[in-house]
Amino acid sequence: MDKLRIKSKVEIEKMKRSGQAAATVLKRVGEAIAPGVSTAELERISRETIAEVNSISSFLGYQLPDHEPYPATICLSINDVVIHGIPNENQVLKDGDIIGIDTAVSIDGYHGDNAYTFPVGDISPSAARLLKVTRSSLYDAIAEAKPGNRIGDISSQLQEGAESNGFSVLQNFSGHGIGRSLHEAPEVPCMGVAGRGLRLRPGMVLAIETMVNVGLPDVQILADGWTVATVDGSLSALFEHTVAILSDGPEILTGSTLWDI
């Protein structure tokens, strides 16, 4: 993870462009989600939209130590998959599934990153509640992203929102700073203590994400080396926004009408 970088007003304006582009990709992919659609088709739509908005995928070819480069422009999370699932032709959406879509692009060297978990057809009341709680906890956390607060004020909201509703949050993965690198300092965990951690300053830009499981927080990495799934097979939901910390509070750079659905 790269070091913490404070952004200028000019840089934040540039990040708005990449943030809106990432949101457009997410919205287009989301509009295609339906029973019978393959995840490879969602990847195709993502690639077409990335080209249309004159951006570059932040995920395609992304390299981690001891990993093959990531082979797609979106990450998929179906049902018990938490993050980093890979699209493929044989994976077809079914009525009642939930699917998290994570999209990230760069424009002029600056990244924007966001995620949303969609219902596929008619989902169960318990799955719908998971989506509602997870999304709500993200917005409660974003409200704490203001100068003078600390990372723990954000993280504690993510944790409280999930656990007060009987869910759990991931302990081994986190949100992150973002800018010229997709992953910059600081880490923004899904759990924490209010009043603890790095103090927030104007010019910080964070990819705040919440990963919430119906069951236990324990996860496993599957054989492809990327896909992270719940150990107990329980449902998981993912929501994420790129957020700039300004002198008067947070500004969501990946805002989209998608989030009004």
Residue 261: per-residue pLDDT: 42
The stretch 194-220 carries a mean pLDDT of 98
Distance CA 47, CA 63 (A): 19
DSSP class of 58 = S
Of the candidates 205, 58, 77, 76, the one whose C-alpha atom is nearest the C-alpha of residue 142 is: 205
Apex CA 88: angle with CA 81 and CA 64, to 5°?
65
Cβ neighbors of 143 (< 8 A, separation 6 or more) are 157, 250
Domain ranges of the chain: 9-260
Residue 260: per-residue pLDDT: 53
Phi, psi of 144 (to 5 degrees): -90, -5
Residue 2: per-residue pLDDT: 84
In this predicted structure, the answer to whether residue 94 has a pLDDT above a threshold of 80 is yes
Cβ neighbors of 12 (< 8 A, separation 6 or more) are 203, 205, 244, 246, 251, 253
CA 232 and chain centroid, separation: 22
Local structure of 73: helix, strand or coil: coil
Q: What is the pLDDT of residues 135-186, one digit of tens each?
A: 999 999 999 999 999 999 999 999 999 999 999 999 999 999 999 999 999 9
Question: What CATH superfamily is the domain 9-260?
Answer: Creatinase/methionine aminopeptidase superfamily (3.90.230.10)
The secondary structure of 185-251 as a DSSP string is EEEEESS--TT-SSBP-TT-EEEEEEEEESS-S-EEE-TTSS-EEETT---EEEEEEEEEEETTEEE
In this predicted structure, the answer to whether residue 258 has a pLDDT above a threshold of 80 is no
**Mean pLDDT lowest for which of 43-52, 63-72, 97-106?**
63-72
In this predicted structure, the answer to whether residue 56 has a pLDDT above a threshold of 80 is yes
81-83 and 110-119 beta bridge pairing: unpaired
Cβ neighbors of 141 (< 8 A, separation 6 or more) are 154, 155, 157, 158, 161, 208, 210
Of the candidates 255, 247, 218, 244, the one whose C-alpha atom is nearest the C-alpha of residue 233 is: 218
CA distances from 46 to 13, 53, 79, 145 (A): 24, 11, 21, 30
Beta-carbon count within 10 A of 109 CB: 12
How would residue 12 be classed by pLDDT, with cut points 50, 70 and 90? very high
- What six digits make up the tokens of 192? 């924490």
How would residue 256 be classed by pLDDT, with cut points 50, 70 and 90? low
Strand spans (E) along the chain: 56-57, 74-78, 81-83, 98-107, 110-119, 168-169, 174-177, 184-189, 205-213, 219-221, 228-230, 236-246, 249-252
Beta-carbon count within 10 A of 148 CB: 10
